[in-house]
Amino acid sequence: MTVWIISAILVVTLVLLITEWMPVDLTAIGIMVALMIFGILSPKEAVMGIAHPAVVTVGAMFVISKGMMRTGAVEFIGRHVIRFSRGNRYLALIIIMMTVGVASAFINNTPVVILFIPVVMTMCCEFGLSPSQFLIPVSYASILAGTCTLIGTSTNIIISDLSATSGYGPISMFELGMLGLPIALAGIGFILVSSFKLMPSLSNPTCQLQDSDHRRYLAELKIPRGSRLIDKSPAEAFVPKYPELEVLEVIRYSHIFYPMRDPVKIAADDLILVKGSLNDLVEILNHEDVELPLTEKGLSFGVGKDDTLVVELIISPQSGLLGERLLETGLMRDPDIHVMAIKRHNLHFTERQIHDVRLRNGDMLLVWCKGSRLAAMRADKDYILIEDVHEEIVLKRKSWLALGIFAGLIIAATTGLAEIMVCALAAAFLMIITGCIQMRDFYRSLQGGVLLLIAGTIALGTAMEKTGTSRVYAEAFLSLFSGASPQMVLGGIILMTSISTQILSNNATAVLIFPIAVSTAVSLGVDPRPFIIGVCFGASACFATPIGYQTNLLVYGPGGYRFTDFLKMGAPLNLFVIVASTLFIPMIWGF
């Protein structure tokens, strides 16, 4: 009877995950509730997956990946792709896939693909190429590379922890690379040969929509006494570090100089009017000898009781600030709020200094503030608060620090200095205390839905193992391969895992298939290790549909793809991974 109850829970779980009638995190909670209500698991057993090492490790890796992205440690590499490719589409595809592959072998591949989508779109606009011939290859390269290391994908971490818990030992850092690397290289080679033949050549609609002035603001910088910028030419002072920053005016007491026309050197107490991006302005205020007028220097984004952040305020049509001078508004008098810059669409300022600007409908103010002020600012009817702008800030000065922390994680985990969970938690902690990532970003990066889904499916796997359901499934599966060799049965497990992961998430598939694979190996009287490795490769062999793997979904819209576009190149890749895994896993991990 218990087997039928668990089977019913499993079927309902599969239907909910496939149809997405309810959010995956709610489905995961429902699994745990059902197992407790029917008395299959005790409350402690049902929620034990939340504290499972796999869940903790995957959560920490999400934080580390966010830190790597936040500091621009990966973006620096990505941006150089455009420069090195020189418009050659084959060279560009090789560089992009190899860069994505190397990054995805060590970082969660979802943020890597998120990072490279705008890189690819920009490159295609610049060289007149079609992004639809690049984006699916980017996703596939990230998936293939994820099978090369333990931390390349969260699926590998989960299976490693399940293996250790079951008494079969964890998977070491580069153990999967013995087969994963050759498969990845062969797969990338196939993508390179077939991409321009099989992928559609669609126009890039974003090229017509690009706005060179997007997120470019006017800001005033005050030169304090003793600044290193004194006696430098204003037209050249910022060029080495900030080549896209425009210096418009130098205001010296009652006189205005125009750097492109007037021979002038920067002097103490000068006000320099500049136009630049969010990142350039934040970097200058944090690391150059300049200040914001009427406020103190040192706007930081470190860790503390009250995190600070940058937001955008859009003056609304009903605002009481319309027509007021910026200097006279409450924003300028609030000690927890500092106006950094202003932007006005398609209009010019007639005032000589920014704080003299009279606000108009649609003006955008770039503001540095304390996190505790957000609630009050959201409720204010004078402006619309845009928080997403903070996500665009890249803390470039901390990129080497983030890389050092990540390198320490790899070395410690590889040498066995500590368990992967301990290494990941330590690295995440260091990312936070060193300011590579703020606490607000820490919580946002955790992807609670994914973590809860892992916890819920772990509880279901525990119930299947405890009640013998996995053994029943294994025996039923074995009956399909009656008289077949262990290698054929292994191929069947990999095939079943790969088919399941086309419609379910790879994490859920791995957790659900793992107990069946182990029970099958035990029933055959062979070492379960090859079957455990087979689940790793099968769960990541998700190329044929856009819904089975998150990176496929990410490129689906920007590439303008149809469902069948994934079948053209994905089905052969799926078949290749299944066949290669079936043939070579027994040679490396013997029965």
Angular region, 447: left φ>0, alpha ψ -120 to 50, beta rest: left
Residue 423 has pLDDT above 70, yes or no: yes
* pLDDT at res. 54: 73
Q: What is the mean pLDDT of the chain?
A: 81
Of residues 522 and 553, the one with the higher pLDDT is 522
- Asked, colleague to colleague, whether 225-287 and 308-391 share their fold, the answer is yes
What single letter denotes the amino acid at residue 69?
M
Mean pLDDT of 347-376: 75
**In CATH, what number does 308-391 get?**
3.30.70.1450
Q: Phi and psi for 370 in degrees, rounded to 5?
A: -85, 145
What's the mean pLDDT in 461-471?
79
Residue with tokens 């021979």: 263
pLDDT value for 307: 66
Type of residue numbered 411: I
Name the DSSP letter for residue 171: P
User: How far is Cα of residue 492 from the mean position of the Cα atoms in its chain?
Assistant: 33
- Exposure class string for 124-133: b at 16+ Cβ within 10 A, else e: bbeeebbbbb
Q: Helices 109-127 & 53-70, crossing angle to 10 degrees?
A: 30
How many residues are recorded in the chain?
Answer: 591
| Closest-CA residue to 527 (of 457, 468, 585) | 585
Q: Looking at residues 196-205, what average pLDDT do you find?
A: 78
φ/ψ (deg, to 5) at 219: -140, 150
- Is the pLDDT reported for residue 77 higher than 80? no
pLDDT at 213 over 50: no
pLDDT band at 219 (very low <50, low <70, confident <90, very high): confident
Q: pLDDT value at position 210?
A: 45
Number of helices (H) and strands (E), helices first, in the chain? 23, 8
Could you tell me the sign of the dihedral formed by the alpha carbons of 578, 580, 581, 583, in that order?
A: positive
Query: Per-residue confidence at 582, pLDDT binned at 50, 70, 90?
Result: very high
Q: Out of 89-98, 499-508, 531-540, which region has the weakest mean confidence (pLDDT)?
A: 499-508
Decide yes or no: CATH 3.30.70 for domain 225-287: yes
Q: Are 101 and 144 in contact (CB under 8 A)?
A: yes
Q: Which pLDDT band holds residue 138 (cuts at 50, 70, 90)?
A: very high
SS3 assignment, position 272: strand
Q: How confident is the model at residue 79 (pLDDT cuts 50, 70, 90)?
A: low
pLDDT of residue 297: 47
Compute the average pLDDT of residues 49-77: 77
Mean pLDDT of 43-57: 84
Radius of gyration of the chain from Cα atoms?
A: 28
Domain ranges, ordered by start, for the chain:
225-287, 308-391
Are 567 and 589 in contact, with CB atoms under 8 Å apart? no
47 and 32 in contact (C-beta within 8 Å)? yes
| CA 140/CA 187 separation, integer angstroms | 9
Q: Does 186 have pLDDT greater than 90?
A: yes
Q: Give the C-alpha distances (Å, rounded to integers) separating 438 from 112, 136, 457.
A: 20, 32, 30
Q: State the pTM of this model.
A: 0.62
Mean pLDDT of 183-197: 92
C-beta atoms surrounding 570 within 10 Å: 26
Instruction: Output the 3-class SS for 506-569.
Output: HHHHHHHHHHHHHHHHHHHCCCCHHHHHHHHHHHHCCCCCCCCCHHHHHHHCCCCCCHHHHHHH
pLDDT of amino acid 48 = 86
Alpha carbons within 13 A on the beta-carbon side of 157: 29
**What is residue 307's DSSP assignment?**
-
pLDDT at 178: 93
The residue assigned the tokens 């990072």 is: 115
Confidence at residue 217, expressed as pLDDT on a 0 to 100 scale: 82
Residue 357 scores a pLDDT above 60: yes
pLDDT (average), residues 288-300: 66
Closest residue by Cα to residue 196 from 125, 119, 134, 127: 134
Q: What is the pLDDT of residue 211?
A: 44
Q: What is the pLDDT of residue 207?
A: 55
Q: Which pLDDT value is given to residue 381?
A: 80
> In the β-sheet with 216-222, what is the strand arrangement from edge to edge?
255-257, 246-252, 271-277, 216-222, 337-343, 364-370, 308-315, 383-386
Hunting for tokens 């991990």 — which residue is that?
589
pLDDT band of 234, cuts 50, 70, 90? confident
- Is residue 304 a contact partner of residue 366, using CB atoms and an 8 Å limit? no
Give SS3 for 252. Answer: strand
pLDDT tens by residue, 364-393 = 888 888 777 787 888 888 888 876 566 566
First to last CA, the chain: 34
